[in-house]
Amino acid sequence: MSLVKLPDDVAITGNSKILLLILDGLGGIQHPHFGKTELQAARKPNLDRLASESVCGVLDPVAPGITPGSGPSHMALFGYDPIECNIGRGVLSALGVDFHLTEKDLAARVNFATVDEVGNVVDRRAGRISSETNGRLCSKLARLVELPHDARLFIQTESEHRAVVVFRGEGLSGAISDTDPQRVGVPPEKPEALSQEAKKSSEIVSSFLKQASEILTDEYPANAILLRGFATQRPFKSFYDRFKLKAAAVAKYPMYRGLARLIGMEVLPACEDMDAEIDLIGKELQSFDFFYIHVKKTDSHGEDGKFEDKVKTIELVDSKIPLLLALSPDVLVVTADHSTPSALKAHSWHPVPVLLWAKTCRVDDVVSFDEISCAKGGIGRMPMVHLMSLVLAHAGRLTKYGA
């Protein structure tokens, strides 16, 4: 049996309350201009005090050197093997537009694109059309396309040239090759069935593309569609079935809400700001054992290279720590899904800092919540997928393994 599934065998119910606070993309590297990581630069007295009462460490979301997308890093956070449970791009895109996927759905990421008179792609993003145009075209396609094999079509705008398509039918398969050629000057690829089981799916997709090409013929520059990341999603064994935790997700962005829903968390209504979120958690505290709280802006500022804004977001979150502690959690964890150093303007492979605060901690001598200090903490360096076991143990929710 895999170590990742070990907690399932020993999980027990209980009354303890767990808060998992995720600052998306929190981890950084020293910025060449500022000479520090964002965490090192931030004034964060509450997080530092928490660290001094906690056990700290750094976590590898997938493996050393591997830069994860949000899918695998969140699966690892939630205690699911990030490789075995990797989620296809189409499915992640569907979660990102708040589409409620079923087991009969085949999803793919859509680019509206421009093709010339002989059918070669000249712009893979159709001049970044407006989201309004995108919305109008999606409605038009949804209205006019008729799929074979009794399949149903859903097509939903993401933004600009980006959309998501979902085919719903019996026995669909994600084993279909991308039609996006990833370069210009060539025609879109055919959606080839990569296995015998995918033949029906490829017929449905081909029929969709043929009709879309006719329907969009006068919609220059968005006169074509490119598809990639075909994927279906069987449901995962739920968080409750695995860990006996009634879990709630407090997240604003659809993709994170969707990821939580995929493993059976209840997704609470989106709130205006963190104060409202903490209020809501207080009200729901008796109904759930575990709250996943997602803060997006640390990642967005990192992606945009905005060091100072990322620092400010950390400081804002720091100011809310007393409100979280006032909920009297048994276990409070502060960490990230992955690093997004503003010096790199992108996700990175650097391990993320983590602090775990609970009465049963073996408190280490880390007194600052930052990447360098945490690396010398009691958790050491650990694969992120084991974090949930540690959380459950400190919540008194794992019984002894073996006699």
Check residue 194 for interaction with a copy of itself (CB under 8 A): no
Applying CB under 8 A, among 89, 160, 247, 283 the residue interacting with a copy of itself is 89
> What is the closest distance, in whole angstroms, from the C-beta atom of residue 149 to a copy of itself in the complex?
27
Check residue 350 for interaction with a copy of itself (CB under 8 A): yes
Check residue 217 for interaction with a copy of itself (CB under 8 A): no
Check residue 3 for interaction with a copy of itself (CB under 8 A): yes
Applying CB under 8 A, among 87, 129, 265, 314 the residue interacting with a copy of itself is 87
> Long-range contact list for 208-216, CB < 8 A, 24+ apart?
208/145, 208/147, 208/153, 208/165, 208/167, 209/179, 211/144, 211/145, 211/146, 212/141, 212/145, 215/140, 215/141, 215/144, 215/145, 216/112, 216/137, 216/141
Applying CB under 8 A, among 23, 41, 78, 82 the residue interacting with a copy of itself is 82
> With CB under 8 A as the contact rule, which of the stretches 149-157, 207-215, 271-279, 369-377 interacts with a copy of itself?
369-377
CA distances from 160 to 71, 91, 116, 125, 134 (A): 22, 19, 20, 8, 6
Check residue 258 for interaction with a copy of itself (CB under 8 A): no
> With CB under 8 A as the contact rule, which of the stretches 63-71, 115-123, 141-149, 266-274 interacts with a copy of itself?
63-71
> With CB under 8 A as the contact rule, which of the stretches 143-151, 200-208, 243-251, 368-376 interacts with a copy of itself?
368-376
> With CB under 8 A as the contact rule, which of the stretches 238-246, 276-284, 286-294, 364-372 interacts with a copy of itself?
364-372
Check residue 365 for interaction with a copy of itself (CB under 8 A): yes
Check residue 69 for interaction with a copy of itself (CB under 8 A): yes
Applying CB under 8 A, among 105, 178, 277, 371 the residue interacting with a copy of itself is 371
Nearer to a copy of itself, 63 or 144 (CB): 63
Residue 11 DSSP code: B
Applying CB under 8 A, among 232, 347, 357, 369 the residue interacting with a copy of itself is 347
Cα separation, 205 vs 228, in Å, equals 11
Q: Residue 173 half-sphere exposure, CB side, CA atoms within 13 Å?
A: 16
Cα separation, 335 vs 353, in Å, equals 6
Q: CB 203: neighbour CB atoms within 10 A?
A: 16
- The two three-digit tokens of residue 231, written as one number: 């994927």
Applying CB under 8 A, among 26, 42, 92, 129 the residue interacting with a copy of itself is 92
Size of the site for a copy of itself (CB under 8 A): 68
- The two three-digit tokens of residue 124, written as one number: 């893979």
- The two three-digit tokens of residue 332, written as one number: 């409070």
Task: Give helix 70-77 / helix 387-394 axis angle, nearest 10°.
Answer: 30
> What is the closest distance, in whole angstroms, from the C-beta atom of residue 294 to a copy of itself in the complex?
17
Check residue 325 for interaction with a copy of itself (CB under 8 A): no
What is the DSSP track for 267-320? Answer: EPPP-SSHHHHHHHHHHHTTT-SEEEEEE-HHHHHHHTT-HHHHHHHHHHHHHH
Cα separation, 244 vs 246, in Å, equals 7
Cα separation, 182 vs 164, in Å, equals 17
Applying CB under 8 A, among 58, 138, 260, 331 the residue interacting with a copy of itself is 58
Cα separation, 122 vs 113, in Å, equals 8
Nearer to a copy of itself, 193 or 395 (CB): 395
> What is the closest distance, in whole angstroms, from the C-beta atom of residue 250 to a copy of itself in the complex?
23
> What is the closest distance, in whole angstroms, from the C-beta atom of residue 282 to a copy of itself in the complex?
27
Nearer to a copy of itself, 156 or 223 (CB): 156
Check residue 7 for interaction with a copy of itself (CB under 8 A): yes
All residues at 6 or more sequence positions from 277 whose CB lies less than 8 Å from its CB, including other chains:
250, 271, 293
CA distances from 367 to 255, 325, 362, 377, 391 (A): 34, 18, 14, 10, 21
Q: Which residues, 100 to 159, sit near a copy of itself by CB under 8 A?
A: none
Give the footprint of a copy of itself on this chain (CB under 8 A). Answer: 1, 3, 6-7, 10, 27-30, 37, 58, 62-73, 82-83, 86-89, 92-93, 229, 344, 347-350, 360-365, 371-372, 375-382, 386-394, 398-403
